[in-house]
């Protein structure tokens, strides 16, 4: 017997806090799903508010507005079932769960919820049970965990609904819902990107689908939100653990698929009886029956199966989307970048052009007495290749006037990094003047290796609004530059920029390696210490010289105060500076 369920997964790009805009977006995609004759359309976790709404959730009016938006969406739910993420509250939420924990927030218990809308009303509600509270996640600060397990019976197919983290646990809601008869699990998500994350996700989903003999539909959000980027990559995994559909990466998408629900029953028959639900869990299951019009056509929809991206490709796409959404969602149009002739500012400019178009990217070249002719030529070459405007402002006279003003207090002192930092701060001042005068957003150009060890000037090259490659190690800066140079009629980053030894050009014949270990040694030490929290002995055992490791660790620890004052930037590694890593500045532990 054939039994199909046509599911649509709307991988949308909401904006945090823009409840009206998000609601209009959801309505537009409901219309698309209806046109595709879907029985059910799923939207991402907290789609109405955007994710993560953070302390907006402490504003009672914000929650009221989100609840009103849900009611407006319910009126649109006819002819199909809509599953949408929103903020639930005691009364609309999971009435039993308010006794489960101490209050997470003020006057009301709030829930990270999925509403099931059909027949122009809210027919069921699921509240997320596993609230992540690690890395960038803070859900226990805002939400109560849910307890109920609603099952939707749609035209005879039993569907379990759960949210994001819930599906990561073998003993989680998926197991209980499958044991209670669910043939399909609709899981909605706002799962932030880091390199390699989508492959890891798919392995977990395959395991969950296989061990419970269920079809899993995994709808993820897409877009940039402050330092987070959501990659989409929504998937459907069948009851054998095979990925049968995969949505686009880093773009909005509607994935439509006919799920062969009868195959789930056949797979289960061959396995004998599963252990029945315990009476305690069975008491938490709520069954809700809904019918939608059945389709006349017998043809089935074959869903798309996008190819997964390679490591560098996905990192690059994340950086482009992160810049695009941060700039546009915050009401900017143009960005300004200090171009030095080095690889970091070149890559930042290329990403900005890919995100915003060449007309919206302004370069400023600010030569000092130590700037080489090579740098001047390389900046001009880059500008020609990218077709961007570059203004040249010499800082030599300004630098000399600063030295003159300081000549008395500095009398008898030898020149040192103070004079180097003055040049960086003059440049920071000029870029911020462009920002003030024209409303451009200043993009800073420091990479993760520099930010880790403090090889950056506070209020100098760190001055700006958004740090594009803040989470990209220097070795990866080169990899991404080479990757991007393979696209298009000619390489965008001049060959010489990629071959020159890195230099700040703040004193004669300066090289980064005068102050730092070579990046090929520095980056693996930083990964071990910053991202993996490894101890000194462990890192030395990896084959690095003890004195080098001790020196690098001390530089990282000493630079916390700088990072705390740096602009936010896009997270692409599994542990970035910012929400991921919260170290005390005043810190006597070594």
Q: Can 128 be counted among the known catalytic residues?
A: yes
E strand intervals along 404-459: 441-444
Angle value at C-alpha 571, between 570 and 574, nearest 5 degrees: 170
Cross-strand bridge partners of residue 237: 216, 243
Distance CA 138, CA 390 (A): 42
- Helix then strand then coil, in percent of the chain rounded to 5, is 40, 20, 40
Distance CA 265, CA 251 (A): 34
Distance CA 491, CA 480 (A): 12
Residue 230, sorted as left (phi over 0), alpha (psi -120 to 50) or beta, turns out to be beta
**Which run of H or E residues covers position 173?**
helix 173-179
| 8 A C-beta contact, residue 447 and residue 470 | yes
Choose, from 37, 45, 329, 505, the residue flagged as catalytic. 45
- 586 burial level (CB within 10 Å; 0-12, 13-18, 19+): exposed
| Prior bond of 52 cis (ω within 30°) | yes
Distance CA 44, CA 227 (A): 19
Beta-carbon contacts of 147 under 8 Å, excluding residues fewer than 6 positions away, are 94, 96, 97, 100, 127, 129, 284
Q: Can 183 be counted among the known catalytic residues?
A: no
CA distances from 45 to 15, 37, 81, 163 (A): 13, 23, 16, 7
Choose, from 139, 164, 448, 571, the residue flagged as catalytic. 164
CA distances from 434 to 354, 430, 443, 500 (A): 22, 7, 12, 29
CA distances from 302 to 6, 245, 258 (A): 10, 9, 7
Angle value at C-alpha 235, between 234 and 241, nearest 5 degrees: 155
Q: Can 537 be counted among the known catalytic residues?
A: no
Distance CA 232, CA 223 (A): 8
Give the strand pairing for 253-260 and 4-11. antiparallel
Choose, from 128, 329, 470, 571, the residue flagged as catalytic. 128
Distance CA 560, CA 582 (A): 9
Active-site residue set: 45, 128, 164
């Amino acid at each position: 017997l054939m039994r199909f369920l046509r599911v649509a997964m709307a991988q949308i790009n909401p904006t945090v806090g823009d409840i009206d805009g998000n609601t209009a977006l959801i309505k537009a995609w409901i219309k698309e799903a209806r046109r595709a004759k879907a029985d059910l359309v799923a939207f991402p976790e907290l789609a109405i508010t955007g994710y993560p709404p953070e302390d907006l959730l402490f504003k009672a009016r914000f929650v009221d507005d989100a609840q009103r938006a849900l009611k407006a969406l319910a009126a649109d739910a006819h002819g199909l079932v809509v599953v949408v993420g929103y903020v639930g509250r005691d009364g609309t939420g999971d009435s039993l769960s308010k006794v489960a924990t101490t209050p997470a927030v003020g006057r009301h218990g709030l829930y990270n919820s999925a509403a099931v809308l059909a027949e122009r009303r809210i027919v069921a509600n699921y509240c997320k049970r596993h609230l992540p509270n690690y890395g960038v996640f803070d859900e226990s600060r805002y939400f109560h965990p849910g307890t109920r397990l609603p099952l939707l019976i749609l035209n005879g197919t039993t569907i379990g609904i759960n949210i994001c983290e819930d599906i990561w646990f073998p003993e989680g809601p998926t197991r209980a819902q499958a044991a209670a008869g669910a043939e399909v699990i609709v899981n909605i998500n706002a799962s932030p990107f880091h390199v390699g994350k989508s492959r890891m996700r798919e392995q977990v989903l395959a395991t969950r689908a296989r061990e419970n003999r269920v079809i899993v539909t995994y709808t993820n959000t897409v877009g940039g939100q402050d330092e987070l980027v959501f990659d989409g990559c929504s998937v459907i995994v069948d009851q054998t653990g095979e990925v049968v559909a995969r949505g686009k990466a880093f773009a909005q998408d509607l994935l439509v698929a006919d799920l062969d629900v009868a195959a789930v029953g056949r797979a289960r028959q061959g396995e004998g009886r599963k252990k029945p639900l315990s009476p305690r869990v069975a008491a938490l299951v709520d069954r809700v029956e809904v019918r939608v019009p059945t389709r006349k056509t017998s043809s089935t929809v074959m869903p798309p199966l996008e190819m997964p991206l390679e490591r560098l490709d996905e990192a690059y796409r994340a950086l482009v989307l992160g810049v695009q959404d941060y700039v546009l969602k915050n009401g900017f149009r143009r960005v300004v970048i200090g171009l030095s002739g080095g690889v970091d500012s070149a890559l930042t400019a290329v990403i900005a052009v890919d995100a915003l178009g060449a007309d919206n990217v302004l370069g400023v070249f600010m030569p000092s007495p130590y700037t080489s002719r090579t740098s001047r030529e390389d900046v001009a070459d880059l500008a020609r290749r990218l077709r961007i405007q570059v203004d040249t402002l010499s800082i030599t006279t300004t630098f000399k006037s600063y030295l003159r003003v300081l000549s008395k207090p500095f009398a008898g002192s030898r020149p040192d990094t103070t004079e180097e930092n003055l040049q960086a701060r003059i440049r920071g001042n000029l870029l911020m003047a462009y920002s003030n005068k024209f409303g451009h957003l200043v993009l800073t150009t420091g990479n993760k290796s520099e930010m880790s060890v403090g090889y950056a000037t506070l209020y100098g090259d760190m001055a700006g609004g958004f740090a594009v490659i803040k989470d990209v190690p220097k070795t990866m800066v080169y990899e991404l530059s080479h990757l991007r140079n393979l696209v298009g009629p000619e390489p965008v980053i001049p060959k010489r920029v990629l071959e020159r030894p890195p230099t700040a050009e703040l004193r004669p014949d300066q090289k980064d390696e005068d102050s730092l270990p070579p990046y090929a040694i520095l980056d693996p030490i930083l990964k071990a210490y910053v991202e993996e929290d490894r101890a000194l002995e462990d890192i030395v055992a990896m084959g690095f010289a003890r004195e080098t490791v001790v020196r690098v660790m001390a530089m990282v620890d000493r630079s916390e105060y700088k990072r705390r004052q740096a602009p936010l930037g896009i997270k692409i590694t599994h542990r970035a500076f910012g929400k991921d890593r919260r170290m005390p500045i005043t810190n006597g532990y070594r």
